[in-house]
Structure 1
Amino acid sequence: MQVFARLAELESFTKVAEAMQTGRPHVTRTIQDLEASLGVRLFQRTTRKVKLTAQGARFYERVKEILANIAETTTMFDRNGSALRGRLRIDIPTAFSQHRFMESLRRFTEAFPEIELALGVTDRRVDLVAEGIDCVVRIGDLPDSSMVARKIGTVIMVTCASPVYLRACGAPKTLHDLMDHRCVSFLSGQSNRPLPWHFSVDGEDHPYTPHGGITVNESNAYVQCGVAGFGIVQAPGIAVETFLANGELVEVLSSHRPQPRLVSVLYPSRTHLAPQVEAFVGWLKEHFPVLHPDWFIAPSPSIAG
């Protein structure tokens, strides 16, 4: 039933074999045996696609319920984590691959020692179903999709540059001054376009399109461009807090610091959520420090504020 459900979702024998870490012949044989035992054809097969038949679609709805009931039954005696087991594949933005978040993630594995965690780190848009990912954490506005999104907190955005750059080019005093500065742009993995910066002016949001510098599509490389003196960057506080603390980056335009950006966890379906996914989503909601001061950069001494 698990193989059948994955094939119904991925519509590819090869993708199912990769997702379940088995051979394609095993997947094919499993489906053939299932169809033979039921006496019905569950899939229409072509050279390019595998689609559910009408009988297969009806069977899939029942299978989802059965698999969910099995998962719930195997953890019915202990919901505090000790009985929760299974593989959990998650994906986080590169900006979160810092010591503070990873240390917090380690505490999740200690609370749920029987859950096998598979961690992906990427800034691109991922297809949860096709890639076999249980849930993703993302920063900022979310594209319209069929995914379930739950807010788990916020992160601040900090505009900063290296002391080397600021000594050579000066610091912007106003937002208008940014026109005379080199800026590092971040290429969005969602839209494949540079992300606009945001500033707060009298409580209102003012977007700004950075220009005049290098464009980067990976968060850590983006921050390193700022440290290396390519120009001004605007990044999540968690990604730059270490560099602000040791003086490799200096905040600018702190009086126009934008409103914190939303952090959400996304997963495919609200119904029949696997217990280990439910545990992780609940843990994120409880432990992600929405107002914890360590996650927010206190206004640091800046060359221009």
Structure 2
Amino acid sequence: MDRLTALSLFVRIVDRGSFSAAAADLGLSRPVATAAIKDLEKRLGTRLLQRSTRHVHPTVEGEAYHRRCIAILADLEDADRGASGAIAGLLRVDVIGHLARTILLPELPAFLAHHPALTVHLGEGERFVDLILEGVDCVVRAGVLADSDMMVRRLGFLEEITVASPGYLALHGVPTSPDHLGGHAMVGFVSSRTGQPLPLEFTRTGEVIDVALPARVLVGTADTSAAAARLGLGLVQAPRYRFTDDLARGALVEVLAEYPPTPTPISVLYPSNRQLSPRVRVFVDWLVAVIGPLCAPNRNPK
């Protein structure tokens, strides 16, 4: 195995914490990967990895070598790009499911046509993703982010609205103020952090008002929340872009538009211990261009 492939393999093993996963990522067999790392350690005269039955950890020397390898590979990628002008390789990203399907996918053909040597692995999720362990280059998430050692670039703020189905409004009436929500119900969106349903949120003359309504249905994903709203199970709040089709065909109706929820920040995260690769850089710039038109002015954002 040539030196460059061995360096790439070593970095992937550290990032993934697994010989098997790293080998699969690079299209190698496990025995070939094992032999290559043994040869690398023999050539360097030091042990780079500590193996256990479940995980692989770098030694102190391995951690230092890993940092140098990341810088070398990033510099090489930049050099190749400077010589050819091409962005190449595999980009692994994880994006909020509905955003991926309805906003990014329609624009993706043009992006790939502009970068014909680039392959995008597009994962959909709203769960926490360990970028290093899972080998993901970057993730796109909405909402206030928990503290982490990830680098964060804010893409903007998504305008949020309150909706309900015509059938629900016919049964419960159309609310005219957050003060007059007696007798109404919400679809309870359960927070992954607290395990409790989030209250509805409204703004009035700059003041944020939280209203917790009864919820007979609790959900854990935004897609299920929207589906429950269409079935008349309660009021729901989410970014406006999610309901464009529903509003156009009358499946859902916006209510309390004079008291909107605060806009939700949307951000892209990537590991702080890596030099930003050209692949991630062009993808993030593309995200800004695609998601920007969906974003609202920064009005007391969450």
| TM-score with structure 2 setting the length | 0.87
Any residues of structure 2 matched to 1:136-215 within 5 Å, and which? 136-189=139-192, 192-215=195-218
1:6 pairs with 2:12 = yes
State the Cα distance separating 1:106 from its structure 2 match.
3.1
Aligned amino acid, residue 249 of structure 1: L
Aligned amino acid, residue 72 of structure 1: D
Gaps of 5+ in 1: 297-305
> Is the CA contact 2:157–2:295 (under 8 Å) kept in the aligned structure 1?
no
Matched residues in 2 for 1:109 and 1:224: separation?
A: 32
| C-alpha distance after superposition, 1:135-167 (max 9, x if no partner) | 111111011111111011221111110001111
Aligned amino acid, residue 146 of structure 1: D
Matched residues in 2 for 1:27 and 1:192: separation?
A: 42
Q: Which residue of 2 aligns with 1:262?
A: 265
Q: Which residue of 2 aligns with 1:40?
A: 46
Q: Which residue of 2 aligns with 1:302?
A: none
Q: Which residue of 2 aligns with 1:76?
A: 82
| C-alpha distance after superposition, 1:204-231 (max 9, x if no partner) | 2223334322112222222111111111
Aligned amino acid, residue 148 of structure 2: S
1:62 to 45, 68, 86: 68
Matched residues in 2 for 1:211 and 1:25: separation?
A: 58
> Is the CA contact 2:188–2:217 (under 8 Å) kept in the aligned structure 1?
yes
State the Cα distance separating 1:189 from its structure 2 match.
4.3
> Is the CA contact 2:94–2:123 (under 8 Å) kept in the aligned structure 1?
yes
Greater CA drift, 256-265 or 178-187: 178-187
| C-alpha distance after superposition, 1:63-86 (max 9, x if no partner) | 12211111111101355xxx1111
1:89 pairs with 2:95 = no
Greater CA drift, 155-164 or 18-27: 18-27
Q: Which residue of 2 aligns with 1:221?
A: 224
Partner-residue secondary structure (3-state), 2:233: coil
Gaps of 5+ in 2: 1-6, 297-302
Find runs of 4+ consecutive structure 1 residues off by over 6 angstroms: none
> How many residues are treated as equivalent by the alignment?
290
Matched residues in 1 for 2:65 and 2:251: separation?
A: 59
Q: Which residue of 2 aligns with 1:300?
A: none
Q: Which residue of 2 aligns with 1:303?
A: none
Matched residues in 2 for 1:21 and 1:249: separation?
A: 47
The sequence identity of aligned pairs, in percent, is 36
State the Cα distance separating 1:99 from its structure 2 match.
3.1
Is the alpha carbon distance of 1:86 and 1:95 closer, same or farther for their aligned partners in structure 2, counting shifts above 3 Å? same
| C-alpha distance after superposition, 1:78-99 (max 9, x if no partner) | 55xxx11111111111231443
| C-alpha distance after superposition, 1:245-298 (max 9, x if no partner) | 111100111111022211111111275211111111122223422xx3x667xx
> Is the CA contact 2:71–2:274 (under 8 Å) kept in the aligned structure 1?
no
Q: Which residue of 2 aligns with 1:299?
A: none
Partner-residue secondary structure (3-state), 1:123: coil
1:132 pairs with 2:138 = no
CA RMSD of aligned residues (A): 2.2
State the Cα distance separating 1:55 from its structure 2 match.
2.2
Is the alpha carbon distance of 1:172 and 1:165 closer, same or farther for their aligned partners in structure 2, counting shifts above 3 Å? same
| TM-score with structure 1 setting the length | 0.87
Matched residues in 2 for 1:56 and 1:43: separation?
A: 6
Aligned amino acid, residue 251 of structure 2: E
Is the alpha carbon distance of 1:196 and 1:108 closer, same or farther for their aligned partners in structure 2, counting shifts above 3 Å? farther
Q: Which residue of 1 aligns with 2:242?
A: 239
> Is the CA contact 1:98–1:238 (under 8 Å) kept in the aligned structure 2?
no
Greater CA drift, 272-281 or 56-65: 56-65
